[in-house]
Chain A
Amino acid sequence: MEQKHKEHSVLAEAFNNNEPRVNWHDETLWWVRQKRDKMAWTLPEWEELREAASQIKHNVLGNLHDYLLAFEKNAIANGAVVHWAADAAEHNRIVLQLLQQQGVKRIVKSKSMLTEECHLNPYLAEHGIEVVDTDLGERIVQLAKEPPSHIVLPCIHKKKEEIGDLFHEHLGTPAGNADPKFLTAAARLHLRKEFIQSRVAITGVNFAVAETGEMVVCTNEGNADMGAHLADVHIACMGIEKIIPERKHLGVFLRLLARSATGQPITTYSSHFRKPKAGQQVHIVLVDNGRSRQLGREDFRNSLKCIRCGACMNTCPVYRRSGGHSYHNAIAGPIGSILAPNLDMKDYADLPFASTLCGSCSNVCPVKIDIHQQLYKWRQVLTKEGHTKKTKAAGMHAMNIVLSKPGLYKTAGGVGRWVMRTFPAVVNNGMNPWYKQREMPEAPKQSFADWYKKNRQ
C-alpha cells in the first residue's frame, strides 16, 4: 500500500533525535497547560461552564440543519453572501473565483485551521495568487515552508535563532538577531505593508451565531481586524460546526476559550462581524468536508464540538514529546487524531494509536469531548476495517521512545516533574495495552536512571 507520508511513529522518533529540543517543547507546552490550570481554578463555576458549553454544542449537533438555515438567512439579511462547499476542493474553487473576480494577486489571511485543512494556500499559489499569513506564528512557518505544528501556537516547534535566520533571509533583519521583541517589531512593519496593500482579506471564524447571522473572530494580535477592516472584500471561511444558537451563548464560550488555550482571561480582540462596512463585500464560505459524515457516526460526532483551543495538545504527553508535525494532519494532537480518520481511514490509521489513552485530554477539554474514549473506539473501527496491522506495533514502539527519554531530569525534583508531565492523568482504564504494563509511579527519591531501570519491564 502506497503511503503519502511517514507514520506517526517514524516521525515522532525523528523528532526525538534532538533531545534538548524535545525537552524544551515538552516543558514549554506543559507550562502553557499549567497557565490554563491556574486560570481555570480562579473560576469556581469552571466545571459548570464546561458542562454548559458541552450541552450547548450538543444542542447544536441536534439542530445543525435548522441553525445553518437560520444563520444563512440572517447573514444574508445583514448583507453577506453565503456559499456552501461540500469539500476542500469546492471551498478552494469558491475562494479562487472570488479572488479572480477582484483581480488580486496577493492577499492577507488571518488564522484559519479550515483553510489549512483544505490546503488553500498551495492551491491559490498554483493559480498565481500569493497568500500572506498574518498571524506571526503562521507567517514564520510560512516563510519556513512548513505547516503549523499547533492550532494555537503554530511555530511552537521553532527556536528563536531559527526565526532570526528566517527573518534575516526574508525580511532583511540583521544576521544573528534572535530577540523576540525585535523580531516581532520587524514582523509588525512587514505585515503592516501587507495589510495596507491588500484589497481582500480571508479570516477564519471562531463562532457563528444563528440568531444574528454574525461571526466572532478571536485574536491576540489584531491581525484579523487589520485585514478585514481595510479590505474591500472580506472572505470568512468556516466549518459548518462553528454555529452556536444565540448570542448569549458567546458568554460561555468566550469565558472558556482563551483560558483553556493559553491561560488568558480572554483574547485581546473578540470581534463581532455582523454587517459589511459601507461599500464592502462579505462572503461566508460554509464548509462540510466530512463533517456531516462525522455527525452521523455516533461514537465520534462529539468531536464536532471542538472549539480549537489546543488544550488537549498542551496536556498530551505524546504530543509534547512527538511534535505537531508527526501527526501529518492540519490538526495535530488528540483531537486531530479523532478528526483525521474521518477524512481518510487508511491514511490516518496510525493516529489513534499515537496516544497512551491517559485521559488528560478529556479532563481539560472545555467542551468535555470524550477524546480518549473516541481514540480507543477509532482503534476498534480501524482494526475491524483492516487498516492497522503494522500501525499498532509501531504505535507501541513509538510510545516507548516518546515517553521513556530520561532527558535532563536527573534530580529528584526533576523526576517528579517529569512524572507529572508524562502521566498527567492517572487512568488505568484497561483500554490500553501500553498502560497495562505501567502504573502511576510514585515520584521517586532516587535518580531517574535508577527509577527508570527498576520500572522498565
Chain B
Amino acid sequence: MSREAILAAIKKNQPATQVLPDLAGFSHAGPGDPEAFRKVVEALGGQVFEITSFDEIQPLVAEHYTDVSKVVTINPAYFAGAATQWQEGDGRQLEHVDLAIIPGQFGVAENGAIWVTESEIEVRVLPFITQHLAIVINKDKILPTMHDAYAYIGAPTTGFGAFIAGPSKTADIEQSLVLGAHGAKSLTVFMIG
C-alpha cells in the first residue's frame, strides 16, 4: 500500500546521481598465497591440514577429534562409513551430526573465508548445525582478496551461498572470545594439492 508513496518520496528527495567508482585497481591477476590463507584460518581458531589424497582425511579425523561419531560427507571418498541418506528432511534431521565434511569452491587469502554454496552442501543448514565442520579445498584455489572472490564467482547460479571463515564464535560476554556460539564449534580445512 505504501509502496507508491515511499517511491515517490525517494524520487523527490534523492540527490543527483554520482558515478560508481572503478574497482579494477583492487583486483589481482595472480593466485592467492596458501600460506597466508593458512595463517588467517589459524588465527580465526581453525586448523589447516595439507593433504595429497582424500585417504588422509579419515586418519586425521581419528587423530584430532575425540567427540565425533556421526559423520556426514558430501563426497563418499572423503570418509568411509559416513552416514547415508542424511539429505531427507527439513534440516532438523541433522541436529545430531558431529562432523560434516564438505567441499568448498575456493578460499580467500586475506581473511580465511571459504565460499560454499547450496549446490555442494545439498542441505543449507548442514555447515551450521553440525557440531564440527571440515571443508576440503584445492590448494590452487586460493584467491587473494574479496574482489577476486566476487570476480571468480561471477553471476550467482545457486539459491544460497556463504563465505565461512573459521568456527562460529562470540565475544558477547565481557569481550572474552569463545568458539562455538550457534554454528560449528570447530573448523578444519583440508587443503588438497
Task: List residues of chain A with CB under 8 Å of any chain B CB.
Answer: 28, 31-32, 43, 45, 48-49, 51-52, 55-56, 58-59, 61-65, 68-69, 78, 84-86, 90, 134-137, 140, 153-156, 159-160, 163, 180-181, 183-185, 187-188, 191-192, 195-196, 212, 214, 220-223, 225-226, 229-230, 232, 240, 245, 247-252, 254-255, 262, 264-277, 279, 286, 288, 292-293, 295-296, 298, 301
Q: Mark B123-145, 1 if CB is under 8 A from A, else 0.
A: 01100110000000000000001
Q: Assess the A180–B173 pair: CB atoms within 8 A.
A: yes
Query: In the complex, which of the residues B16, B20, B166, B172 contacts A268, with contact meaning CB atoms closer than 8 Å?
Result: B166
> How many positions in chain B have a CB within 8 Å of any CB in the partner chain?
72
Q: Assess the B172–A137 pair: CB atoms within 8 A.
A: yes
- In B155-170, which residues have CB < 8 Å from any A CB? 155-156, 158-170
Q: Assess the B155–A266 pair: CB atoms within 8 A.
A: no
Q: Which residues of B contact A65 (CB under 8 A)?
A: 7, 10-11, 14
Closest to A230 in B: B91
Given contacts A222-B181, A226-B129, A251-B149, contact A295 B163 (CB under 8 A): no
Q: Mark B8-50, 1 if CB is under 8 A from A, else 0.
A: 0111111111111101011000000000000010001000000
- Tell me, rounded to whole Å, the shortest Cβ–Cβ distance linking B68 to chain A: 17
Q: Which applies to chain A's interface (DSSP): helix, strand, loop or mixed?
A: helix
12 inter-chain pairs at a CB distance below 8 angstroms, sorted by A residue, are A61-B15, A64-B10, A153-B175, A163-B173, A183-B173, A220-B170, A225-B125, A248-B151, A251-B145, A269-B128, A271-B161, A274-B159
- Tell me, rounded to whole Å, the shortest Cβ–Cβ distance linking B124 to chain A: 4
Query: In the complex, which of the residues B13, B108, B184 contacts A293, with contact meaning CB atoms closer than 8 Å?
Result: B13
Closest to B163 in A: A270
- Tell me, rounded to whole Å, the shortest Cβ–Cβ distance linking B147 to chain A: 4
Q: Tell yes or no: B64 within 8 A of A by CB.
A: no
- Tell me, rounded to whole Å, the shortest Cβ–Cβ distance linking A319 to chain B: 16
14 further A-B contacts with Cβ under 8 Å, apart from A90-B2, A136-B173, A272-B156, are A43-B110, A45-B25, A65-B10, A90-B1, A136-B172, A184-B172, A185-B180, A221-B168, A225-B162, A229-B129, A254-B163, A265-B111, A266-B146, A301-B13
Q: Which residues of B contact A160 (CB under 8 A)?
A: 173-174, 176
Q: Assess the A184–B124 pair: CB atoms within 8 A.
A: no
Q: Tell yes or no: B113 within 8 A of A by CB.
A: yes
- Tell me, rounded to whole Å, the shortest Cβ–Cβ distance linking A55 to chain B: 4
Q: Assess the B178–A192 pair: CB atoms within 8 A.
A: no
Q: Which residues of B contact A137 (CB under 8 A)?
A: 170, 172
Given contacts A62-B17, A251-B26, A288-B9, contact A225 B110 (CB under 8 A): no
Q: Assess the B178–A184 pair: CB atoms within 8 A.
A: yes
Query: In the complex, which of the residues B13, B21, B118 contacts A56, with contact meaning CB atoms closer than 8 Å?
Result: B21
Query: In the complex, which of the residues B150, B159, B160 contacts A248, with contact meaning CB atoms closer than 8 Å?
Result: B150
Given contacts A86-B5, A271-B160, A272-B162, contact A180 B18 (CB under 8 A): no
Given contacts A136-B173, A251-B146, contact A220 B15 (CB under 8 A): no
Q: Assess the A63–B17 pair: CB atoms within 8 A.
A: yes
How far apart are the CA atoms of A78 and B155 in the complex, in Å? 14
> Counting chain A CB atoms within 10 Å of each CB, which of B26, B145, B167 scores highest?
B26
How far apart are the CA atoms of A51 and B23 in the complex, in Å? 11
Closest to B161 in A: A272
Q: Assess the B110–A265 pair: CB atoms within 8 A.
A: yes
How far apart are the CA atoms of A221 and B183 in the complex, in Å? 6
Q: Assess the B150–A251 pair: CB atoms within 8 A.
A: yes
Q: Which residues of B contact A264 (CB under 8 A)?
A: 44
Q: Assess the A184–B162 pair: CB atoms within 8 A.
A: no
Q: Which residues of B contact A187 (CB under 8 A)?
A: 181
Q: Tell yes or no: B95 within 8 A of A by CB.
A: yes
Q: Which residues of A contact B111 (CB under 8 A)?
A: 255, 265-266
Q: Assess the B183–A268 pair: CB atoms within 8 A.
A: yes
How far apart are the CA atoms of A181 and B180 in the complex, in Å? 9
Query: In the complex, which of the residues B6, B17, B44, B92 contacts A292, with contact meaning CB atoms closer than 8 Å?
Result: B6
Q: Which residues of B contact A28 (CB under 8 A)?
A: 174-175
Given contacts A136-B173, A159-B174, contact A247 B91 (CB under 8 A): no
Q: Assess the A295–B14 pair: CB atoms within 8 A.
A: yes
Closest to A138 in B: B172
How far apart are the CA atoms of A442 and B144 in the complex, in Å? 42
How far apart are the CA atoms of A290 and B11 in the complex, in Å? 14
Q: Assess the B175–A288 pair: CB atoms within 8 A.
A: no
Q: Assess the A84–B6 pair: CB atoms within 8 A.
A: yes
Q: Assess the B125–A269 pair: CB atoms within 8 A.
A: no
Q: Assess the A180–B91 pair: CB atoms within 8 A.
A: no
- Tell me, rounded to whole Å, the shortest Cβ–Cβ distance linking B14 to chain A: 5
Q: Which residues of A contact B14 (CB under 8 A)?
A: 61-65, 295
Closest 3 CB pairs of A and B: A222-B183, A296-B13, A275-B159
Closest to A154 in B: B172
Q: Which residues of A contact B182 (CB under 8 A)?
A: 134, 188, 191-192, 195, 221-223, 226
- Tell me, rounded to whole Å, the shortest Cβ–Cβ distance linking A275 to chain B: 3
How far apart are the CA atoms of A212 and B155 in the complex, in Å? 8
> Counting chain B CB atoms within 10 Å of each CB, which of A43, A212, A267 scores highest?
A267
